[in-house]
Amino acid sequence: MRGATGGFPEVWKVPPRNTNFTGRDELMGSLRSSITKKTTAVVPHALQGFGGVGKTQIAIEYAYRFRGEYDVVWWIPSDQPGLVRSTLAQLAPKLGLPDPTTTGIEEAANSVLDTLRSGKPYDRWLLIFDNADEPEDINDILPQGAGNVLITSRNHRWASLYETVAVDVFPRPESVEFFIKRMRRSITEKDADRLAGALGDLPLALEQAAALQTETGMSADDYLRMLTERTAILLGEGKPSEYPLPMTAAWSLSVNELKDNLPEAMELLRCCAFFGPEPIPRSIFASVEGPVRPVIADLLADPIRLGTAIRRLGKYALVRIESEPSRPTTLQVHRLIQALLREELEAGTQEEIRSEVHSLLVGAAPESPDNPTDWVTYDALLAHLEPARLADSVRDDVRGFALNVLTYLNASGNHQGLRDHLDTFLQKWTDEFGPDDLHVLRARRVQGDLLRSMGQYTDAHRLNTATLAKIQANVGVEHPDSLVLLNGIGADLRAQGLFAEARDHDTESVRLHRKVFGADHVSTLRAVNNLALDYGLTSDYLGSRTLLEEALRSGGNAVNRITQLNLWAGLGRSVRLCGFYSEACDLGEDALAFGRELLDADHPRVLLTQKDLSIALHRYGEHERALDLAQDVHARYVRLYGLDHPGTLAAATCLSNALRVNGLIQESFDLANDTMQRYPKLYGPEHPYNYGCASNVALMYRVRGEPLEARRLNERAMEGLDQRVGRDHHFTLTVAVNLASDLAMLGELKEACKLGTDALERLRRLLGEDHPTTLAASANLVVDLAQSGQTEKAEILSADTMDRYRDTLGLDHRDAVVAMEGRHLDCDFDPPPI
């Protein structure tokens, strides 16, 4: 890749540079030498185990000073391990990878790590993990490769794992240089030396002192006198030893000055102390409905006074203000200052301010946590949930916000963050309110969604049914909370292969949704879409098509665009399953174009739409384009989700079928066989999809001239499908048609004709006489009847079959051509979505 342009790397995310950064040249040299060994940790000197020595500032300065050596520099706040992956995921689009809003946090973060390890498109990269506490929290996501990793931490245990550079307080000459550079008015070297000695050369304390003297014009003598007095007071109060006394004294002077000159700014600073040490969005400080102290409520209601207070905090170096054109303005308070501020308050006041912070978080949260456009806001708030002890709140509005956070984490794919927060909320709320509390049950619903997304379908169904019973007992059958969960249980049933049970369940769900919300409400349309899936999985393709057509007509402007895409793509699938391949291709092309315009090409809904279009093109006869789409969508699924994801397995089945009809037999067989092995691990051994995939492998055995293996697999598949969905199901009858071909190839024509005749009669009743699968069964039976000497029956059936081909697919369609040539047609299987 090209090097940095304009002095900065092509990809850059680092906090603003400290214009007052002073000295540290020897340390910077050691750091540069060390970091070329790939991973380096910046830790405090062994004798200085507290904060304030400047680890973060050194990392920032390193990034700026050596930025020309890198193409990618990315800053990752690491106080809370659950946020590390979300920050990594934000790097994805910068590397040419799908945005986390389309793939989910975990998948995007994993893609980033894989890309960095590969060195393509960038091999000169630097990741900075700031304030990483325990090595175990992030050790598994430190990428190896051509780039560098820099860690800042207060924990000396990093020294046993990686090269470390210890950071001590300033050497005295650098302290003096800092004061002379930082303070606008002149200060003598002698006064600077005296101040530095009194402050222990601690960088954060020096910054506090310089800011206060610059702002107030206080002389060095006055500051030293007050510092001595304040130190004595603090020693008398018995301040904990983990806080360096010079820092505590310097902070105390700044706070006292702020109290005297702008007390409301002091109260705002106290509020900031109960957020996390990560940047706080400036926009969060606005009037809210929840409980807020009167002084803060008055300040938030007056933008001029609020702005003045924030600027004063910045001038006193108590708050770091970051404001860049491309980013929202943020405030940040050093963790040591936060701890000192909290400690000076009584327990009751702490709880009052903590509740105030909860109100601000609730007020800043968007109303649609499952809307990708709102995820950036939720991500900024996420860093403050644990420090603000959100789980401890008993307020309904705060717990409602917490549930919205869980929804955001689930929708964005941040499963690790979801697990962590979900466990915390559930434990706290269950202990406080009991297992039948409505907020606890809502959190249980999210837990069920998480289990389903992880492929733990049985556990998800067990939890969801138990939760639904409690919710219904709590608020009634027709309450929105009951209906939301009711709609999800159908997916649990489908995932277990209980298609008829899912259809019955979702029929009742649609009835209740229509009664409560009306026919055109988006929740109702989602329920209808699920019922249409059930109809398709029980071979009622016309019923599925009718439902989706009505949903698209009735929804109108009430349908959001993603729901519209779901309905549109589902209609294309239903039309194809009805046997109308040309119309299915038209619908699929339109839906895919709409999806790509609306969403990223790697969005799960777009991938599903592309896969369905590939299948439609394959059925229609455009085999080369079907193969191109199938190869592309399968590659995307593998890259985004790995080999064992349900979407990947469905895409692999689609690709295997496309490879076969394009003459790539060995590649098709290998992929079909691999997919067959993977399916039971996901769905369990008796799921209908497992048998469908086995039938595809059997088909390939017959194509390869191994009819005995084909027969063995197909007999097992048909027996399993007979037991799971019955003989009069499209899946089962497709296997029966293929098994009849196996028998014919083995010379067992009597058995082939018997099975083929039965399958044809059942298909005519199930799908109609003109459906392509029915015609394939008819065409194959013509061949078997003729070979068994039943010439007259064969001729009559052949004439009828070809007339129907002429009136439906056309005589130039591949199926009709094969039928006219007297060869057996192959019927393959593609698993519909759950």
Query: 511-549 pLDDT, tens per residue?
Result: 999 999 999 888 899 999 999 999 999 999 999 999 999
Mean pLDDT within 36-53:
53
In the chain, % helix, strand, coil (3-state, to 5) comes to 70, 5, 25
**Same domain, yes or no: 49 and 133:** yes
Residue burial 697-727, b: 16+ Cβ < 10 Å; e: rest: bbbbbbeeeebebbbebbeebbebbbebbee
Query: Given this model, what pLDDT does residue 245 score?
Result: 67
Q: Tell me the pLDDT of the chain averaged across its residues.
A: 88
For the chain, give the percent of residues with pLDDT over 70.
93
**Same domain, yes or no: 158 and 217:** no
Task: Assess if residue 137 is contained within a domain.
Answer: yes
Residue burial 786-797, b: 16+ Cβ < 10 Å; e: rest: bbeebeebbeeb
Query: Given this model, what pLDDT does residue 35 score?
Result: 77
Mean pLDDT within 570-578:
97
> Domain tally for the chain?
2
Task: Assess if residue 307 is contained within a domain.
Answer: no
- Residue 714 binned pLDDT confidence (cut-offs 50, 70, 90): very high
Closest by CA to 215, choosing from 194, 241, 185, 239, is 185
- Residue 560 binned pLDDT confidence (cut-offs 50, 70, 90): low
**DSSP-assigned letters across all residues of 95-116:** GTPPPHHHH-HHHHHHHHHHHH
Three-state DSSP state, 801: helix
Higher pLDDT, 222 or 435: 435
Highest mean pLDDT among 162-166, 211-215, 444-448: 444-448
For the chain, give the percent of residues with pLDDT over 90.
55
- Please give the Cα distance from 294 to 275 (Å, whole number): 19
The answer to whether 442 touches 396, Cβ cutoff 8 Å, is no
**Same domain, yes or no: 155 and 247:** no
- Please give the Cα distance from 356 to 389 (Å, whole number): 12
**Same domain, yes or no: 135 and 216:** no
Q: Which residue has the tokens 């037999």?
A: 665
- Please give the Cα distance from 657 to 629 (Å, whole number): 12
**Same domain, yes or no: 156 and 47:** yes
Task: Assess if residue 591 is contained within a domain.
Answer: no
User: Is residue 242 scored above 60 in pLDDT?
Assistant: no
The answer to whether 116 touches 145, Cβ cutoff 8 Å, is yes
Query: Given this model, what pLDDT does residue 378 score?
Result: 93
Q: 237, 261, 285 — which closes off a domain?
A: 261
- Residue 233 binned pLDDT confidence (cut-offs 50, 70, 90): low
**Same domain, yes or no: 34 and 90:** yes
Query: 93-116 pLDDT, tens per residue?
Result: 899 888 786 677 888 888 899 898
Higher pLDDT, 600 or 456: 456
Q: Picking from 98-107, 255-264, 276-285, 517-526, which range would have the lowest pLDDT averaged per residue?
A: 98-107
Task: Assess if residue 732 is contained within a domain.
Answer: no
Mean pLDDT within 208-218:
79
Query: Given this model, what pLDDT does residue 728 score?
Result: 97
Q: 230, 261, 292 — which closes off a domain?
A: 261
User: Is residue 831 scored above 80 in pLDDT?
Assistant: yes
- Residue 44 binned pLDDT confidence (cut-offs 50, 70, 90): low
- Please give the Cα distance from 361 to 605 (Å, whole number): 31
**Same domain, yes or no: 138 and 200:** no
- Residue 265 binned pLDDT confidence (cut-offs 50, 70, 90): very high
User: Is residue 240 scored above 50 in pLDDT?
Assistant: no
**Same domain, yes or no: 81 and 129:** yes
Q: How far apart are the first and last CA of the chain?
A: 42
Task: Assess if residue 38 is contained within a domain.
Answer: yes
CATH number at residue 29: 3.40.50.300
Long-range contact pairs involving 546-555 (C-beta distance under 8 Å, separation at least 24): 548/574, 551/525, 554/519, 554/520, 554/525, 555/520, 555/522, 555/525
User: Is residue 241 scored above 50 in pLDDT?
Assistant: no
- Please give the Cα distance from 253 to 199 (Å, whole number): 12
User: Is residue 557 scored above 60 in pLDDT?
Assistant: no
User: Is residue 45 scored above 50 in pLDDT?
Assistant: no
Token pair belonging to 142: 């430190």
Q: Picking from 120-124, 269-273, 294-298, which range would have the lowest pLDDT averaged per residue?
A: 120-124
Task: Assess if residue 434 is contained within a domain.
Answer: no
- Please give the Cα distance from 231 to 253 (Å, whole number): 10
Mean pLDDT within 284-306:
94
- Please give the Cα distance from 630 to 672 (Å, whole number): 14
Looking at residue 546, its amino acid is T
Q: Picking from 455-464, 524-533, 671-680, which range would have the lowest pLDDT averaged per residue?
A: 455-464
**Same domain, yes or no: 92 and 187:** no
**Same domain, yes or no: 162 and 176:** no
Task: Assess if residue 111 is contained within a domain.
Answer: yes
**Same domain, yes or no: 42 and 72:** yes
Chain length of the chain: 834
- Residue 219 binned pLDDT confidence (cut-offs 50, 70, 90): confident
User: Is residue 398 scored above 60 in pLDDT?
Assistant: yes
User: Is residue 10 scored above 70 in pLDDT?
Assistant: yes
Closest by CA to 671, choosing from 661, 679, 659, is 659
Query: Given this model, what pLDDT does residue 131 score?
Result: 83
Domain that holds residue 118: 11-167
pTM of the model: 0.74
Looking at residue 722, its amino acid is D
Q: 115, 148, 167 — which closes off a domain?
A: 167
Query: Given this model, what pLDDT does residue 52 score?
Result: 66
The answer to whether 388 touches 402, Cβ cutoff 8 Å, is no
Task: Assess if residue 192 is contained within a domain.
Answer: yes
Q: Picking from 231-240, 432-441, 670-679, which range would have the lowest pLDDT averaged per residue?
A: 231-240
Mean pLDDT within 358-382:
89
Strand order across the beta sheet in which 320-324 lies: 280-281, 327-332, 320-324
User: Is residue 209 scored above 70 in pLDDT?
Assistant: yes
The answer to whether 221 touches 207, Cβ cutoff 8 Å, is no
Query: 323-355 pLDDT, tens per residue?
Result: 766 678 899 888 778 888 888 899 999 999 999
- Please give the Cα distance from 464 to 152 (Å, whole number): 43
Cβ neighbours of residue 46 under 8 Å, at least 6 residues apart?
156, 166
**Same domain, yes or no: 200 and 159:** no
Query: Given this model, what pLDDT does residue 690 score?
Result: 95
Query: Given this model, what pLDDT does residue 231 score?
Result: 60
- Please give the Cα distance from 816 to 829 (Å, whole number): 19
